[in-house]
Amino acid sequence: MLYPLLWLLASSLKPENEIFGSLGLWPSTFNWSNYTGGWEALPVSFSIFYRNSTIVTVLSVLGNLFSCSFAAYAFARLEFTGKRLFFGLMMMTLMIPYHVVLIPQYVMFLKLGWVDTYLPLIVPRFLASDGFFIFLMVQFFRQIPRELDEAAQIDGCSAFKIYWAVILPLSLPALATSAIFSMIWVWEDFLAPLIYLNDIKNYTVPLALRLFIDQEGKSAFGQMFAMSVLSLVPVVIFFIAFQKLIVRGIATSGMK
């Protein structure tokens, strides 16, 4: 289960010519220079890449949580004309292979003047572009007893109040799960940054990791592995912090 991870860690400490061709995990010498050297190996320091990734990730996670929980609330709890149609369309956006909408989307963002900015990466997330989270939250919201909404409605709560004060607090596990996934996926996202970011100063961490490898020529595998290990650190911290929120749901007895 964990062997591959140990291998990754070991490789990040090995001298370049020892990574391949020897199967042992233990490096002959501990080569910390992959870490120190790797951080500054590219024309732009990894500090910049981390800053960029952080900006994109924080905003995207916030965007995802707000916009997707809005849409999910509408699909799970509210009745309105065209609900089924829109839900179907939302599911369709999940099914279409991304690669064929890539070019029309690129042309669109280019016309907006957004290429080489973070807007194509962030704005769609505030507009609930990822149906995965909507569908996920819909499934969880539908599990919450209706009696709670109805009771709140009788008390004169608005739809927004119910969403904010009843649904969200009761969906903590789902929200935490969504936060973890959006954090990880945005942090590791590669294709969209590749297409939309041009200037190396704007690159995100996964994009920078690709700069180490040259299939046809000279690569820096040791440094790539070292930086890959480091790139996992924020994700692991975030994961450990947020998984705590996946707690036992409330007891519903007494409400029925």
Distance CA 196, CA 216 (A): 25
CB-nearer residue toward other proteins: 152 or 195: 195
* Helices assigned H by DSSP within the chain: 3-13, 33-39, 46-77, 83-95, 98-111, 119-126, 131-141, 146-154, 159-162, 168-170, 172-188, 191-196, 205-210, 221-243
Q: Which residue, 19, 9, 13, 4, is CA-closest to 37? A: 13
**CA within 13 Å, CB half, 240:** 5
Closest approach, Cβ 136 to other proteins, in A, equals 6
CB-nearer residue toward other proteins: 91 or 165: 91
Closest approach, Cβ 30 to other proteins, in A, equals 18
Phi, psi of 97 (to 5 degrees): -60, 130
CB-nearer residue toward other proteins: 3 or 30: 3
Closest approach, Cβ 163 to other proteins, in A, equals 7
CB-nearer residue toward other proteins: 58 or 191: 191
CB-nearer residue toward other proteins: 50 or 225: 225
Closest approach, Cβ 227 to other proteins, in A, equals 10
Closest approach, Cβ 188 to other proteins, in A, equals 5
Please name the amino acid found at residue 207: L
Distance CA 50, CA 208 (A): 10
CB-nearer residue toward other proteins: 56 or 207: 207
Closest approach, Cβ 164 to other proteins, in A, equals 11
| Measured CA distances, 128 to 66, 135, 165, 220, 237 (Å) | 8, 11, 21, 38, 26
**Largest Cα–Cα distance of the chain, in whole Å?**
72
